[in-house]
Amino acid sequence: SKKSISHYHETLGEALQGVELEFSGLDIKFKDDVMPATYCEIDLDKEKRDAFVYAIKNHYWYQMYIDDLPIWGIVGEADENGEDYYLWTYKKLEIGFNGNRIVDVNLTSEGKVKLVPNTKIQMSYSVKWKKSDVKFEDRFDKYLDPSFFQHRIHWFSIFNSFMMVIFLVGLVSMILMRTLRKDYARYSKEEEMDDMDRDLGDEYGWKQVHGDVFRPSSHPLIFSSLIGSGCQIFAVSLIVIIVAMIEDLYTERGSMLSTAIFVYAATSPVNGYFGGSLYARQGGRRWIKQMFIGAFLIPAMVCGTAFFINFIAIYYHASRAIPFGTMVAVCCICFFVILPLNLVGTILGRNLSGQPNFPCRVNAVPRPIPEKKWFMEPAVIVCLGGILPFGSIFIEMYFIFTSFWAYKIYYVYGFMMLVLVILCIVTVCVTIVCTYFLLNAEDYRWQWTSFLSAASTAIYVYMYSFYYYFFKTKMYGLFQTSFYFGYMAVFSTALGIMCGAIGYMGTSAFVRKIYTNVKID
């Protein structure tokens, strides 16, 4: 009966996810049972029949909400030989209440009617209210899937990753304790030789590059912007996971995304502080340009991808198309919240920790980098660096992808927290080992190598997403493919930048430590 249908969304997160709610036209009042009643009639001309047949062939289903509880129904079904198509015309709703709150809702589709052109089909519904013992706080529990998320494999993978962490931390401490002790012993022995012997002695190893190891990285502007952004992504991940563990964010549509956007905007000073201070320490002069690049690196990547996918969504008339007003709102957040907070962070970073305080002087002339074995080249180290961090998270990736693409509600944020901690430890350990080998080969280009060897995790995650697409989903067509790979690219890149920043921070502390302890003339 309702001619104009109001599209509406309640939060920014909903609008970005394309949740545009419509009024169903079913008249339901609290504790008011409705006997089977007709609510509309369809004149089934050829065009409408074809639309219904297409929907039934492709297993279309619809989702409705009553008091924020979702219910799902299927449009219709075909008979065995696929010649006749039937529409479900009767919606039987059973709603459970506890006190004055709705706690449970079930939809049964009945009334199979064959689709015959040029007939009238009556759609009907009934509502039955019944008392329920379910508490209002627990009303979402029936939507969760413990047998999937708390599967033995999930526990096993966490345990497995944990073992890997213990092994890696042991390996790193062994390499560093034993090898560094030997190095220190050798270097201090060389201190005691007279000049004649030392000229004949074969000095080699990481001490040789002490005059170049704190040289600013190439392209310091981009480098410090990436490190700042990575630190911010890490802060956002940590805070959002903690909030999700305390509050059940899955009970409200779009609340996870809204929370992430709010936290991202609020943590902008973190980006400014780390990016700005690193740029100042590397002797950068164009700090305003660095601040702009740091502030807009991630938002530009996310919005650019979303904008591209949005064009395809509009072309396909998909509900995923983001309304123009929402785009304007996101741009306003970028310019009026993220940028000023980033400026505050940058100024603090430059003034509080922007002075270069390196343990060794930097030589005026860079020393030549000697020839080394092919597997010590930075490019090879970068490719191999991401394998172990990816190995520690890839089972969790399966669960995250499944909840993102397959309508399962992800609720085991404790697991996610553990995996994040494990990822950080593994990443730092791997980059420290890589950097130690690189410096030992007298190659001092460790900044980009440590960042990229950790960030290469993203390449492996993206490759895994290809496997997931072809073997675990049934997506097809331009829109679904571009939607999947577009957002997966954003996810992988953000993960890579975060891992890179974590790897660089750990390695930076390690390099500073080993050069502080060695005597240098």
For residue 4, the model assigns a pLDDT of: 52
The CB density around residue 292, as the number of other CB atoms within 10 Å, is 16
Domain co-membership, 120 together with 168? no
Angle among Cα 494, 267, 414 to the nearest 5 degrees reads 65
Q: Flag whether 331 is in a domain.
A: yes
Helix (H) or strand (E) holding 95, with range, is strand 85-98
Total domains, the chain = 2
Domain co-membership, 245 together with 322? yes
Indicate the residue among 121, 143, 165 that finishes a domain: 143
Average pLDDT across each block of 10 residues of the chain; the chain has 521 residues. List them in order: 57 80 82 91 90 90 88 90 88 93 93 90 93 90 85 85 86 80 78 59 71 89 95 96 88 86 95 94 89 94 91 84 86 92 93 85 85 87 91 89 85 90 93 90 91 95 95 88 94 96 95 81 56
Q: Flag whether 13 is in a domain.
A: no
Domain co-membership, 137 together with 244? no
**Domain containing 354: what range?**
154-176+208-360+370-517
Domain co-membership, 84 together with 166? no
Domain co-membership, 106 together with 170? no
For residue 149, the model assigns a pLDDT of: 83
Domain co-membership, 265 together with 353? yes
Q: Flag whether 303 is in a domain.
A: yes
For residue 195, the model assigns a pLDDT of: 59
Distances (CA, A) of 326 to 13, 225, 322, 429: 10, 27, 7, 42
For residue 6, the model assigns a pLDDT of: 58
Q: Flag whether 7 is in a domain.
A: no
Place of tokens 């506890």: 98
For residue 204, the model assigns a pLDDT of: 67
User: At residue 39, what are phi and psi to the nearest 5 degrees?
Assistant: -115, -15
Q: Flag whether 187 is in a domain.
A: no
For residue 515, the model assigns a pLDDT of: 85
Domain co-membership, 167 together with 289? yes
For residue 421, the model assigns a pLDDT of: 93
Q: Flag whether 426 is in a domain.
A: yes
Domain co-membership, 221 together with 345? yes
Closest CA to 255 of 7, 8, 14: 14
Closest CA to 254 of 266, 262, 246, 265: 262
Considering the entire predicted model, what is its pTM?
A: 0.88
Q: Flag whether 397 is in a domain.
A: yes
For residue 235, the model assigns a pLDDT of: 97
